[in-house]
């Protein structure tokens, strides 16, 4: 009987039911979209933001080993003043390798370009590198071991991936040709354009190179010229060497544990905490892991970037929470307004039910079930609406190729969205229903 | 014999201005059929509403089936309405989106549990077996009122209270409804109904005449008939 009553009264008030469903759906669309974005897109967004530059700089460990004797500086003659290019792929073997978004090696010296002094930088433009195979284990201080499945395939990295905000007129030079990417300022000074050949002289030896692209970067790079690393190594007679590496890594904002690890040193953390620290992608632990993987390397944090990033994401989230809160409030008011009129229209019906002996519990159950079902409908519509909205936002705003939703997150979003929707419907109906139940049957049944 | 309905000094004063009932005392015994008559505005509906626990008097007391109606809480009044009284109104009042059968089942649902068989039997008894799955808008006034009677009787009330049950019916339907009342009366049900029509009033055992909220000296309807 209750089911029949609910179905029929909802059907009879179709227009009203649809109105409530739509109000609730609007709010829950935003709730669902927010959750999807908060859970999924913010990671994508972090990655997107991450593409605006590196946050870790790798230099040779022995770099500071400079000895000054009588005003003359002697750099340690060991080759360890440079890093080995061949060790770079190891960056993708660390525990948090998936958080390494991009990296690029650099080797630079002042050269003469068309008779002008300029910094020539050897780097990787867009390199596809194989990922070392083989199983890897991570052993922790407490003796536990964690196996990490080996990665297969290749990985794109290089300056092009690291510096996505650069605007390149023409093309990025290919890895297999002796092409040049020239800074915009230098190009203007030398009056060279795309496909012009320029003469580069190093220690009396000179080569001719073709300009492939002109870069606007907004920084010092506009005064420099870029060639692929191999060429720079040949010109500088430093085969297989590089001076520094810029790494872009996704990191978690530091917390108390990260702060303590950097203060007392990770090795001095209790084993439990060490494991937690190691298995959390703090900037510190990612650097630590890189230093473990590549001998003779020292990692430096360029921290400002990730902090700004965190603050930006936080602001985005706050904005979104406010939008969602306003939407929920508006939906609540809309449901309330609809319910007040609905129950006014139905006051005779309510009076009749009371005259037939329905008590507050029975009537309350009836109205709240009606509202709850309507809210549930709105929630389901809103859940899918939110998925679509999140998808749209992710494509439009963050220029991602859609979301790679993870199933576990989706599973959590549905019940949360439904809960929000049902709460809005129930809360919006509660006071009108309470008011309606106070109606005296004699008043509503009188006259006609 | 204990009266089934016992009203003592019942007074209802609307907003301190309209004295709808003025110290009304009345006793109705089990199995009696009482007609309440009087001019419009004399307080007939008010009296009925007091007995049905739909309204509260300004003073006086209402006892029904040994229960002090005025001492009941809101929840107990709801229980009282669904268990003790069957109500019939002049304007039928059916839920428009439920069928005839479902309207009867609704009363069962509020009472305890809807029972399709039993409800169908009740609809059958008022002669509407062909109209069970019709909606109120598809029924004639007489048919609607018969659905209301079936609904009022479905929970086996002690008393059937009817406020001008034939007020909106033509002569033919009026006769059908009155015939049902006569049958119920013969079966021993206590009936109290309000009417304007002396023709109908004389069918009852007793007429209670109201004037400006006061009961006029009573006399048996049978005596009236013999005049
Ligand atoms: N809710 C109310 N507020 C104020 N006055 C009321 C209210 N209900 C009834 N009255 C007044 O009380 C008096 C008795 O009303 P009641 O409805 O009992 O009359 P009645 O005998 O049933 O009349 P009718 O034959 O027209 O139905 C009338 O004067 C009416 O105006
Ligand atoms: Mg009346």
Tens of pLDDT, residues A415-435: 989 999 999 999 999 998 888
User: Mean pLDDT across chain B, nearest whole number?
Assistant: 90
B185 lines ligand 1 (CB under 6 A): no
Pocket probe for ligand 1: among B12, B17, B20, B201, the residue whose CB has the most ligand atoms within 8 Å is B20
Q: CA A443 → CA A351, A439, B89, distances in Å?
A: 8, 7, 14
A359 interfaces chain B, CB cutoff of 8 Å: yes
Q: Which residue of A has its CA nearest to B78?
A: A357
List, for residues B176-204, the tens digit of each pLDDT value. Answer: 889 999 999 999 999 999 998 888 888 89
Give domain limits for chain A.
Answer: 2-45+310-445, 55-301
How sure is the predictor about B13, in pLDDT bands with cuts at 50, 70 and 90? Answer: very high
The alpha carbon of A239 and the centre of ligand 1 are apart by a number of angstroms equal to 109
Which residue's CA lies nearest to atom 31 of ligand 1?
B41
**What is the C-alpha to C-alpha distance for residues A370 and B188, in angstroms, rounded to an integer?**
41
Average the pLDDT over each of A7-21, A272-286, B146-160, B207-221 and give the range with the smallest value. Answer: B207-221
Of all protein residues, whose CA lies closest to atom 30 belonging to ligand 1? B41
Q: What is the largest CA-CA distance in chain B?
A: 50
User: Which among A8, A11, A345, A356 is the top mutation candidate for probing chain B, defined by the most B β-carbons within 10 Å of its own β-carbon?
Assistant: A356
Res A397: pLDDT = 57
Residue nearest (by alpha carbon) to ligand 1 atom 12? B20
Considering only CB atoms, which chain B residues are within 8 Å of A2? 109
**Alpha-carbon distance A397 to A182, whole Å?**
31
Residue whose Cα lies nearest atom 28 of ligand 1: it is B41
Alpha-carbon gap: B69 to the closest alpha carbon of chain A (Å): 14
Distance (Å) of CA B26 to CA A44, A320, B45, B54, B191: 82, 69, 15, 18, 14
Nearest CA to ligand 1 atom 26: B40
B206-211/B214-215 β-pairing: antiparallel
A1·B105 Cβ contact <8 A: yes
Chain B contacts of A440, Cβ < 8 Å? 54-55
For residues A21 and A335, is the Cβ–Cβ distance under 8 A?
Answer: no
pLDDT in tens, chain A (448 residues): 888 889 998 888 888 899 889 999 999 998 888 887 776 655 655 555 555 577 888 988 875 544 444 444 445 544 457 888 888 888 878 888 777 888 999 999 999 998 889 999 999 999 887 765 554 544 444 445 555 555 566 778 898 888 877 888 999 998 888 899 999 999 999 999 999 999 999 888 889 999 999 998 777 888 999 999 999 999 998 999 998 999 988 877 778 888 888 888 888 889 888 988 988 888 889 999 999 888 888 888 874 444 555 666 677 778 888 888 998 999 999 999 998 988 888 888 999 999 999 998 899 899 889 999 999 999 999 999 988 888 787 665 554 444 444 444 567 788 989 999 999 999 999 998 888 888 888 877 765 4
* A440 in reach of chain B (CB within 8 A): yes
* Contact between residue B25 and residue B10 where contact means Cβ atoms under 8 Å apart: yes
Q: Is B18 in the pocket of ligand 1 (CB under 6 A)?
A: yes
CA distance B116 to B121: 9
State how far residue A323 is from chain B, nearest Cα, in angstroms. Answer: 39
Q: In the predicted model, is pLDDT for residue B31 greater than 90?
A: yes
**ipTM given for this complex:** 0.91
Is the C-beta atom of B49 inside 6 A of ligand 1? no
Position B225 confidence tier, pLDDT thresholds 50, 70, 90: low
- Partners of B93 on chain A (C-beta within 8 Å) are 348, 352, 355, 445
* Partner-chain contact A349 B114, CB within 8 Å: no
**DSSP per residue over A97-133, as a string?**
GGGEEEEEEEEEEEEEETTEEEEEEEE-SSEEEEPP-
> How far is residue B177's CA from residue B141's CA, in Å, rounded to a whole number?
11
Q: Name which residue sits closest to atom 11 of ligand 1, judged by CA.
A: B20
Which of B55, B98, B102 has its CB closest to that of A442? B55
Contact B111 A1 (CB under 8 A): no
Place of tokens 């400006």: B212
In angstroms, rounded to a whole number, what is the distance separating the alpha carbons of residues B227 and B225? 5
Q: List CB contacts of A125: < 8 A, sequence separation 6 or more.
A: A158, A159, A160, A172, A173, A174, A175, A181, A226, A228
Q: Tell me the nearest-neighbour CA distance from A439 into chain B, angstroms.
A: 11
User: Given CA atoms A362, A368, A374, A376 in this order, what sign does their dihedral have?
Assistant: negative
* Per-residue pLDDT tens over the stretch B62-104: 999 999 999 999 999 999 999 999 999 888 889 999 999 999 9
Q: Which secondary-structure segment (H or E) carries A216?
A: strand A205-216
The rounded Cα A287 to chain-centroid distance in angstroms is 19
pLDDT value at residue A35: 82
Provide CB contacts within 8 A for B4, sequence distance 6+: B28, B29, B30, B32, B64, B65, B158, B159, B190
Distance CA B148, CA B134 (A): 14
**Ligand 2 midpoint to CA B214 (Å):** 15
Region of residue A400 (left: phi > 0; alpha: psi -120 to 50; beta: else): beta
State whether the beta carbon of B14 lies less than 6 angstroms from ligand 1.
yes
* Location of structure tokens 């110290």: B23
> In this predicted structure, what is the pLDDT of residue A160?
87
* Closest residue on chain A to B102 (Cα): A1
To test the contact with chain A by mutation, choose from B46, B64, B77, B78 the residue with the greatest count of A C-beta atoms within 10 A, namely: B78
CB contact under 8 A, B110 and A442: no
Residue B124 has pLDDT above 50, yes or no: yes
Residues paired with A169 in a beta bridge: A214
- Beta carbon pairs, A and B, within 8 Å: 75
Q: What is the pLDDT of residue B4?
A: 94
CB contact under 8 A, B95 and A349: yes
pLDDT at position A403: 47
At CA B144, angle to CA B142 and CA B149, rounded to 5?
A: 95
Instruction: Say which CATH topology domain B31-50+73-225 has.
Output: Rossmann fold (3.40.50)
pLDDT digits (tens, 9 = 90+) for A246-281: 998 887 777 888 888 888 888 888 988 898 898 888
Q: How many CB atoms lie within 10 A of CB B61?
A: 15
The token duo for A34 is 């927010």
Question: Quick check: A91 and A102 in contact, CB under 8 A?
Answer: no
């Amino acid at each position: 009987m209750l089911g029949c009553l609910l179905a029929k009264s909802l059907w009879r008030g179709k227009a009203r039911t649809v109105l409530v469903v739509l109000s609730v759906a609007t709010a829950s669309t935003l709730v669902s979209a927010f959750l999807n974005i908060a859970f999924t897109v913010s990671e994508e967004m972090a990655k997107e933001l991450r593409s605006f530059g590196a946050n870790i700089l790798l230099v040779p460990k022995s770099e500071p080993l400079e000895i000054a004797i009588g005003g003359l500086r002697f750099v340690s003659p060991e080759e360890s003043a440079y890093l080995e290019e061949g060790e770079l792929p190891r960056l993708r073997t660390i525990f948090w390798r998936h958080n390494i978004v991009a990296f690029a090696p650099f080797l630079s010296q002042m050269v003469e370009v068309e008779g002008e002094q300029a910094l020539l930088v050897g780097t990787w433009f867009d390199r596809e590198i194989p990922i070392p195979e083989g199983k890897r284990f991570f052993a922790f201080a407490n003796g536990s071991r964690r196996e990490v499945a080996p990665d297969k395939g290749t990985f794109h990295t290089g300056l092009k991936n690291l510096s996505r905000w650069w605007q390149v007129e023409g093309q990025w030079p290919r890895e297999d040709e002796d092409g040049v990417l020239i800074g915009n300022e230098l190009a203007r000074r030398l009056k060279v354009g795309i496909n012009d050949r320029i003469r580069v002289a190093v220690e009396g030896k000179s080569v001719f190179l073709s300009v492939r692209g002109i870069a606007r970067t907004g920084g010092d790079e506009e005064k420099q010229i870029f060639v692929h690393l191999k060429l720079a190594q040949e010109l500088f007679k430093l085969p297989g060497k590089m001076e520094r590496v810029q790494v872009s890594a996704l990191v978690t904002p530091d917390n108390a544990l990260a702060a303590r690890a950097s203060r007392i040193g990770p090795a001095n953390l209790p084993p439990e905490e060490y494991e937690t620290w190691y298995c959390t992608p703090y900037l510190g632990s990612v650097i630590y892991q890189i230093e473990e993987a590549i001998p003779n390397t020292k990692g430096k944090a360029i921290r400002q970037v990730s902090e700004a990033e965190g603050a930006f994401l936080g602001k985005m989230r706050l904005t979104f929470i406010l939008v969602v809160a306003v939407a929920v409030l508006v939906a609540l008011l809309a449901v309330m307004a609809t319910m007040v009129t609905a129950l006014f229209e139905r006051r005779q019906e309510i009076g009749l039910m009371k005259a037939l002996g329905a008590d507050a519990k029975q009537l309350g159950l009836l109205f709240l079930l009606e509202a709850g079902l309507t809210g549930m409908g709105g929630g389901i519509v809103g859940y899918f609406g939110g998925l679509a909205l999140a998808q749209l936002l992710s494509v439009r705003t963050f220029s991602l190729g859609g979301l790679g939703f993870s199933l576990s997150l989706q599973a959590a979003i549905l019940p949360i969205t439904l809960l929000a929707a049902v709460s809005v419907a129930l809360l919006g109906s509660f006071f009108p229903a309470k008011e309606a139940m106070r109606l005296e049957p004699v008043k509503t049944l009188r006259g006609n | 014999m204990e009266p089934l309905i016992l009203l003592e000094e019942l007074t209802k004063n609307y907003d301190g201005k309209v004295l709808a009932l003025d110290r009304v005392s009345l006793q109705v015994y089990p199995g009696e059929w009482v007609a309440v008559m009087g001019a419009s505005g004399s307080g007939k509906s008010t009296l009925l509403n007091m007995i049905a626990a739909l309204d509260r008097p300004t003073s006086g007391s209402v006892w029904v089936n040994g229960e002090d109606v005025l001492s009941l809480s809101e929840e107990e009044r709801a229980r009282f309405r669904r268990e003790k009284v069957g109500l019939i109104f002049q304007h039928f009042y059916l839920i428009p989106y439920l069928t005839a059968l479902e309207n009867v089942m609704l009363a069962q649902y509020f009472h305890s549990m809807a029972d399709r068989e039993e409800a169908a039997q009740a609809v059958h008894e008022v002669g509407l077996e062909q109209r069970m799955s019709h909606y109120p808008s598809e029924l004639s006034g007489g048919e609607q009122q018969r659905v209301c009677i079936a609904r009022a009787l479905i929970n086996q009330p002690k008393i059937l209270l009817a406020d001008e049950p034939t007020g909106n019916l033509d002569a033919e339907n009026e006769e059908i409804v009155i015939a049902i009342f006569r049958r119920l009366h013969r079966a021993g049900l206590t009936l109290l109904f309000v009417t304007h029509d002396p023709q109908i009033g004389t069918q009852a055992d007793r007429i209670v005449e109201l004037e400006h909220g006061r009961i006029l000296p009573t006399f048996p309807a049978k005596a009236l008939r013999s005049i």
